[in-house]
Structure 1
Amino acid sequence: MAQKQVRSTPSSARVYRRRRLAVLIALLVAIGLLVWAGFGIASVLRPADPGATEQGTGAVAGGTGSASPQPSQENTNEPTPEPTSCLDGDVSLRASTAQGTHGPAENPVLVMTITNEGKFDCSVNVGTSQQDFSVTSGSDRIFSTSDCVQDPTDTEITIKPGASETARFTWTRVRSAPGCKVINAKPRPGWYGFTAKLGDLTSENAKFELK
């Protein structure tokens, strides 16, 4: 039996053209995405400001990091000098509180700020063996972190010239005594003073209020 020849109808031809058009559109979209991705990668790798990288602070476009200057060939084999301990006068200490007045349900956040006032990098021991946050009311000694320190530690950090490091302590409005003795009396509303200590350094007294 002879097979009948199937002729393409106009409707089937239109379907075929639409399929080809759909494939072509999808291909163009894919190419567009590849080109966009290529520009995205280029923008990430290309510094936003060619001169900024020479200073070591140039931001990289499309990223969140910063570009660091590459060491010259002649300096790559030179050892990096170890920072020396900070000398007297190199470091300043400042006491402050996160806010000046505290409501009945607010615990003061005591802030110790250490600043390198010298011209060179230097290291300082900021461990619990050295630091102390103390609160007074006039001549009355209210609280000190050194009263209850267990297993004091030493922690050396390096501070760059003009840079500062901070340590924070939240005081929960309790009294303390040497040897970590329990004191039931609670500090009353009024003005208090916070003094920060780090080794032989003592800050000026910072005033704050409890409501």
Structure 2
Amino acid sequence: MRMDPDTFRSDIGVDVYWRRRMAALVGVLVVVAVVAWACSASGPDGESGTDASAGRSPTPDPILALLPAVTITPSPTPSAPTASPAPTASAKPKTLARAKRPGDACDPSDLVLDMQGQGEVYAGDSRPRFILTLVNTGKVMCTADVGSRALEVRITSGTDRVWSSADCVSGETEDIRKLDRGIPYVRQFEWDRRRSGSDCASDRATAGDGTYVAVVHASSLRSHKTVFHLR
């Protein structure tokens, strides 16, 4: 049924009707504006601008919190290989030392030289006497020269060279002997209490009283000192 406009105006009035309609429209616009402002103020992850400006930490995702933390260590950069120096042309291969055979010359490091005096004080015409020993300590028998020049007995007094068994030696001086391991070569000799030197034709002078030292020399070997006295 079509409503008569006159009847509508007679009940509530035209002004009241339009004021109610405008109030309802304004209320709808206000709601739409509030919703639009709320949407624009929210961040991409659903956080509000107010929370972000306040410095609040975002709520952690419960699924991400269950995943184990993984630390990645960078792989070391491989270093370039070091080139080995090229062998020089002068380098020669080492040769093994030949094993010593019985009868070879004795190695000085295998020999022990010693001398003992048979007294300490020699009075009057008594002559000093000594015993010389040479021992091979090597593993096999070897040979050594024990001649008067090879085994030199030297007697001194202070800095004075008084006598030497190598002075005025004539003829064959070499005396090669076989030295078995541990068996000493033994030689006894005595000093006639006279001096010696390079002049072998002249008469030799008699050594005076005093303290003397006797030592045996053999190449790189040397015995300990034997001290004695002439009275």
Give the TM-score taking structure 1 as reference length: 0.56
1:86–1:122: 8 Å Cα contact kept in structure 2?
yes
Q: Percent identity?
A: 27
Map 1:99-118 to 2 at 5 A: 99-118=119-138
**1:170 and 2:190 are equivalent in the alignment:** yes
Residue of structure 2 in register with 1:203 after alignment: 223
Check whether the contact 1:175–1:183 (CA below 8 A) recurs between aligned residues.
Answer: no
The question of 1:190 aligning with 2:229 is answered no
Question: What secondary structure is seen at the aligned counterpart in 1 of 2:166?
Answer: helix
1:48-63 → structure 2 map (5 Å cutoff) = none
Between structure 1 and structure 2, the one with the greater Rg is: 2
Q: Deviations over 1:152-199 (max 9, x none)?
A: 332211112222111222111001112425355422222100011223
- In 1, Cα distance between equivalents of 2:132 and 2:182: 16
Contact 2:149 2:165 in 1 (8 A): no
Counterparts of 1:129 and 1:187, CA distance in 2: 22
What is the aligned counterpart of 2:163 among 143, 147, 150? 143
Aligned counterpart for 2:178 among listed residues 128, 153, 158:
158
Question: C-alpha distance in 2, partners of 1:179/1:90?
Answer: 36
Structure with the higher fraction of residues in strand conformation: 1
Q: 99, 105, 111: which is aligned to 1:91? A: 111
Listed as ranges, the gaps of 5+ residues in structure 2 are 1-100
Q: CA-to-partner distance for each residue in 1:61-88, whole Å, 9 max, x for gaps?
A: xxxxxxxxxxxxxxxxxxxx74221112
Matching residue within 180, 184, 188 for 2:200: 180
Counterpart AA for 1:190: G
Other structure's SS at 1:89 match: helix
CA distance in 1, matches of 2:160, 2:204: 16
Q: Deviations over 1:32-77 (max 9, x none)?
A: xxxxxxxxxxxxxxxxxxxxxxxxxxxxxxxxxxxxxxxxxxxxxx
CA distance in 1, matches of 2:225, 2:149: 21
Q: Contact 1:176 / 1:183 at 8 angstroms: preserved in 2?
A: no
Aligned-residue Cα RMSD (Å) equals 1.9
Q: Distance in 2 between matches of 1:196 and 1:102?
A: 20
Alignment: residue pair count: 131
Q: Which runs of 5+ in 1 are unaligned?
A: 1-80
Distance 1:202 1:182, change over 3 A: farther
Contact 2:115 2:132 in 1 (8 A): yes
Q: Report the TM-score, using the length of structure 2 for normalisation.
A: 0.52
- Separation (CA, whole Å) in 2 of partners of 1:100 and 1:204: 15
DSSP 3-state at the match of 2:108 = coil
1:121 to 112, 125, 141: 141
Task: Note the C-alpha offset of 1:100.
Answer: 1.8
SS at match of 1:157: strand
* Cα displacement (A) at 1:140: 0.6
CA distance in 1 between counterparts of 2:214 and 2:170 reads: 22
Question: What is the deviation of 1:201?
Answer: 2.2
CA contact (8 A) 1:115 1:162 kept: yes
Q: Secondary structure at the match of 1:105?
A: coil
